[in-house]
Amino acid sequence: MADITDIKAIIYTEKTIDLQEDGVIVVQTTPRMTKNALKEVFREYFGIKPLRVNSMRVNGKVKRFKGIEGKRADSKKFYVKLPEDAKIESLAV
């Protein structure tokens, strides 16, 4: 089962910072993470029950370096809608 170590990063871009004002946090995880597992991680570690979780699978790009072809790792992105009164202080920008 997935746990907090499957969360790779919180994504901070211009678009995601605008979404954070509306209570949506964008999280990058390993491909094996599911919506229910992510909800459980938020409940267990942050004490917050997400209102809604949307997911998006991101396939790794094929890149070349000095003629050698390689592939970036696959991942998942989750858009997590938090309740209005819920704040995660460690994630604030």
- How far apart CA 49 and CA 41 sit, in angstroms, is 9
46 pLDDT band (50/70/90 cuts)? Answer: confident
pLDDT at 4 over 60: yes
**Mean per-residue pLDDT for 32-58?**
92
> Is 91 contained in some domain?
no
- How far apart CA 8 and CA 59 sit, in angstroms, is 15
**Mean per-residue pLDDT for 65-83?**
94
Number of domains in the chain: 1
**Mean per-residue pLDDT for 11-34?**
92
**Mean per-residue pLDDT for 9-19?**
92
> Is 90 contained in some domain?
no
Residue 80 CB contacts under 8 Å (≥ 6 apart), including other chains: 24, 25, 26, 27, 38, 42, 50, 52, 53
> Is 38 contained in some domain?
yes
> Is 76 contained in some domain?
yes
Question: Residue 13 sits in which domain range?
Answer: 4-85
Tokens 């229910």 belong to 36
**Total-model pTM:** 0.83
